[in-house]
Structure formats: C-alpha cells, structure tokens
Structure 1
Amino acid sequence: MTDEQIRTEDRVQYTITDDGVADVRMVRADKMNALDDAMFEALITVGKEIAANNEVRAVVISGEGRAFCSGLDFSRFKSMKDGVQRLGDDRDPLGPAKVMAQQTPYVWTWLPVPVIAAVHGFAFGGGCQVAMGADIRIVHPETQMSLMEMKWGLVPDMTGTQMIAGLVRRDLAKELVYTGKVISGTEAAEIGLATRTSDNPYDDAMALAKEIASKSPHAVRRAKELMEMSGRVPLEEGFAAEQTAIRSLIGSPNQSEAVAANLEKRAPKFQSYDG
C-alpha cells in the first residue's frame, strides 16, 4: 500500500464515548507509532474532525503497542542523509502553525476542549512534541522521553522549542534541547514536562477526561481559551478576555444548571456546546 493509499484509520483511530470523551489512538504499533507522512496527516485530520464535533467534551490521546510515539520514522533520516529534504510546504494555517510537522502537535493545543496525553514506553523527538501539544500529560514512571533531534544534527521543529519553555524551567529546557538527553517519566514529572506519573496512564487519563466531561462544556471551553492566552498576551488583553468569558457564562443555561444541580445536590444535566 502506497502512502497515497494509506487511510487515516491505518494510523489513527478514535471513538467517542457516550459522555463525550474522544479516545484517540495512534495504531502503527509495529513501528512504535513512528511519524511518517501518513501519521502526520492522520493526526491533523483527526484533530480537525474532533474540533468540529460539538458533542466532544474532552480528548485522550495514546499509542497502541510498546510506545506512545517513537518519533520520526527512520526512513526520513535516511532521506536526509541522502540529501533529500521533506519539510512540507506551507498549508492553510492552524493558528500560528503553517507546516505539517508543526500542525501535528499543535492541533491538540488548538482544539477547543482539553486534551490529555496518556504516555507510555517511548516518547522521542516528534512523539514527545505531540505529547507536549496536549493540555495534560499522564506518564508511566518508566517511560523514556526525549527531545532527541540534536542526536541527528537537528533542532526540535514541531513547536518544541517554543512550547517547552511554558512547561519546564528555561535552563532545564535548554539542557534537554542542547543534549537530546533521555529522561524517565519520573524525572519528566519532577521538572514539569509531565503533569504526573501513573502506573496506568491510559486508565487515569480516561478517568480525568470523564471528570472534565462532567462539567459545563461552555465553561470548560472558555477556560481552555483563557489558559492558552495566559502568559502569551499582555495582562490587559487577558483580563479583558476573562470578563468577556464570564459575561457570556453568567445566566446561561448551563451555568444556571450548574448552580441548580449544586443546590439540589444532584448531578447536572448540561446541554451540548452550541457555539
């Protein structure tokens, strides 16, 4: 089967639970979910499909088999050695991301609902950057993680150099990028690259996603929008966005339902997001 004939579902599959959690899985297990052109395209396509579905309230992304994602497919490195460059042309922008490699992790940041990465095995290079695109990373303690592009004479170019500074202390981020060192899931959690560790990252990620999905979808979407602005826009703009968000929420049907459910000590019954 040629690259042109590979279907999205040959690389990434997803289902949506009754409570609105999109369960996204990279399924190229025989290659430890390595990133070839088809995997890049599949991740972007699935991310966009989920973004367009107002029934989705949270997302979990994981990898089948021995790894979350082992990074760039080795065939790419072979072509680089032979002097062939395959960076990808500019395409329709996805926020600030214009090329395929950057859109692959950024689509999960761009999604209007929270995304949780359940990481096990290996998350190397581009795989680590895909995990960094999620809002939250739950990682097995023995997972091996690395921005290892320096090993191949490269720099992290899938948003990694720009996004890591928001997760890890700047000097530690520089050490990871300059050396390409491999760290464990435990160390990743200690320095902030991972949110926390778990012996069952997928199960814990799904449980957290279900908890988030039980909240008002309008409030959760507004919260993600505001949190993505934090530290990236002037305070005046951020404060104004908070006020715009709160004014849109107070007295809305789902906010009224949240209040009523709390006062009546029952589970809320929220309406789906309606834009």
Structure 2
Amino acid sequence: MTDNPRVTIAIDAGVADVRLNRPAKMNALDPAMFAGLIDAIDRLGADTSMRAVVLSGEGTAFCAGLDMASMASAGAGVDLAERTHGLANDFQQVAWGWRTLGLPVIAAVHGIAFGGGLQVMSGADIVIAHPDTRLSVMEIKWGIVPDMAGFALWRGRVRDDALRELAYTAREFSGTDAATLGFALRTAGDPHAEAMTLARAIAARNPHAIRAIKRLANDAVAADAADILMAESVEQAALLRSPNQMEAVMANMQKRAARFVD
C-alpha cells in the first residue's frame, strides 16, 4: 500500500503494521493525522487479504493527543453532530473506526497516550502497553469532554468509577494501571514485538471465523441475550462446512499449517 506521510502501513503475510508517523510532535493529532488514520482504516477494511492490524506510534510516544494549535482553526465551524462515517463524525472515526474494522486490531502503546491518543488506542480490540507508559483522560484539563468515541469504547471494558475519577481529574496513570483498570490487556517491555507475535498467531487462523468473532464481540457489548444467541447461531451456520472451516479441520488432523483463502 502507498503510505500517507502521517500514517505508514507495512504489510507482511496479512498483518498490517500501522504506525502514527509524526515523531517530532509525539504523534500529536493534526488534520493530516486525522485524514491519514481515516484513510488507513478505509483501505484496510477494503482489502480482504488482511488478517490483523498492529497499531503503534513512531518515536518516543504512541500519541500525545490533539495538536491544539493546528486543530483550533481546523475545528472552527465544524458541526460535531454531523455523522460522516456511519455512527461517527470525523473526529470519532479515528478511534471508532478501528473497533468497526472487520479484522482484529492490536494497539502497541508506549511513552504517552493522552486525550485523543488514549481514545485512538482504545479503538483497538486488544491493547498491550509498556508498563511505564503515561496515560490520561486529558480533556477536562482544557474544559471539555472526551468526544472521540471514548465513552462508547470504554463501556464494558473500563471500571466505571475509575473512569469517572480519571475523566473528572485528568490524573495521569501508568501502563501497569491501564492493565489493572481495563484500558489495556497486559503490559510488555516491548509492546510492538508482543503485538506483532499475537497478530501473526491470529493471522494463522480461519479469517472468516476471526471476523465473525469480532462481530459477535462487538455486538455483545450492547445487545440483549436473545440477539447474541441468535447472532452466534447465524455466524456458526455460515462457517460450518465452509472451505476455510474444513481446511482448519484438515490442517489440525494432518498436523500442518493451514492454507486459508480470502
């Protein structure tokens, strides 16, 4: 794929290594970064050969949040209520888009993840953070609320009273704290290497089943039990005896690597 200067994409064996690429500014979100992230989500979603995504930041930080100077003029006159990407507006899509992308996304987080950067991180299915990462629900510092899909993404994932305290105060917390509270799955000394290892393991599984699991997991956050049970049955019926499902069975029986098709 051709890279946007703000967001680079390298692909190997169906795993997309996506990196925020503004290291001199700790990958702060400016209009070009917003556009690059939205474009990356769109392009990866349209490519059926993709199996998993690792999302990280170049340099010393994952993302320091909004570049306030560049966004002040860009945001003037914007109608935040306008839905430009399904349920989301442009600002929400850079985080929400990873959640709705049809394949698993693993965020590898280090250095800093503040404000909008924390919300972009939270769009991932799984977050692996360096224990010393500095994180903050930063918006109240500027007298505003998290509005880049944070609350929708944290629902069912982050302990409610802890989220309220962090949002009310903008208090910094660590990668270790993030794993305890639910912002991250676990910590690692090299989050990117661990995320790539996990992504490759996912990429070796039936891609149609993996995408079905993501749909079920997304729906389970808000759907009632009846809808979830029916969704499980519908997804399973589509998978049973499909070419990739049969290949998974044969590969296990023959003790070899599976050869799945798009």
Q: Above 0.5 in TM-score?
A: yes
Tell me, yes or no, if the aligned pair for 1:126 and 1:158 is still in contact at 8 Å. Answer: yes
The structure 1 segments of at least 4 consecutive aligned residues displaced by more than 3 Å after TM superposition are 76-80, 84-93
In structure 2, give the amino acid aligned to 1:94: H
Q: CA deviation at 1:79?
A: 5.5
Secondary structure of 2:108's counterpart equals strand
Deviating more after overlay: 21-30 vs 230-239 = 230-239
Matched, 1:173 2:167: no
1:202 pairs with 2:202: no
What letter corresponds to residue 115 of structure 1 in structure 2? V
Cα drift, residue 165 of structure 1: 2.4
- Are 1:116 and 2:120 matched, yes or no? no
Q: Which runs of 5+ in 1 are unaligned?
A: 1-6
Greater shift after overlay, 186-195 or 7-16? 7-16
Selected match of 1:12 from 4, 7, 32: 7
Contact kept in structure 1, 2:31 and 2:70, CA below 8 Å: no
* C-alpha distance in 2 between matches for 1:199 and 1:109: 25
Partner of 1:60: 54
Q: Does 1:105 align with 2:95?
A: yes
The AA in structure 2 aligned to 1:217 is: P
Partner of 1:216: 206
For 2:62 and 2:108, the matched residues in 1 are separated by 8
Which of 74, 91, 95 is 2:86 aligned to? 95
SS at match of 1:156: coil
CA distance in 2, matches of 1:92, 1:177: 25
CA gap of 1:48–1:270, structure 2 versus 1, over 3 A, is same
SS at match of 1:10: coil
Aligned to 1:36: 30
TM-score computed with the length of structure 1 as normaliser: 0.90
- Aligned residue pairs total 261
Let me know the Cα RMSD of the aligned residues.
1.8
State how far apart, in whole Å, the 2-side matches of 1:102 and 1:86 are: 17
Which residue among 244, 247, 250 is the counterpart of 2:237? 247
Is the partner of 2:106 in helix, strand or coil? Answer: strand
Asked whether the equivalents of residues 114 and 135 of structure 2 are also in contact (C-alpha less than 8 Å), the reply is: yes
Cα offset for 1:8? 6.3
For 2:71 and 2:94, the matched residues in 1 are separated by: 18
CA distance in 1, matches of 2:55, 2:76: 29
Identity %: 47
- On the 8 A contact 1:116/1:209 being kept in 2, the answer is yes
Question: Is the alpha carbon distance of 1:15 and 1:211 closer, same or farther for their aligned partners in structure 2, counting shifts above 3 Å?
Answer: same
TM-score (norm 2): 0.95
> How far apart in 2 are the matches of 1:92 and 1:48?
16
Q: Aligned-pair distance for 1:166?
A: 2.1
5+ unaligned residues in a row in structure 2: which ranges?
A: none
Q: Deviations over 1:120-147 (max 9, x none)?
A: 0000000000000000000000000111
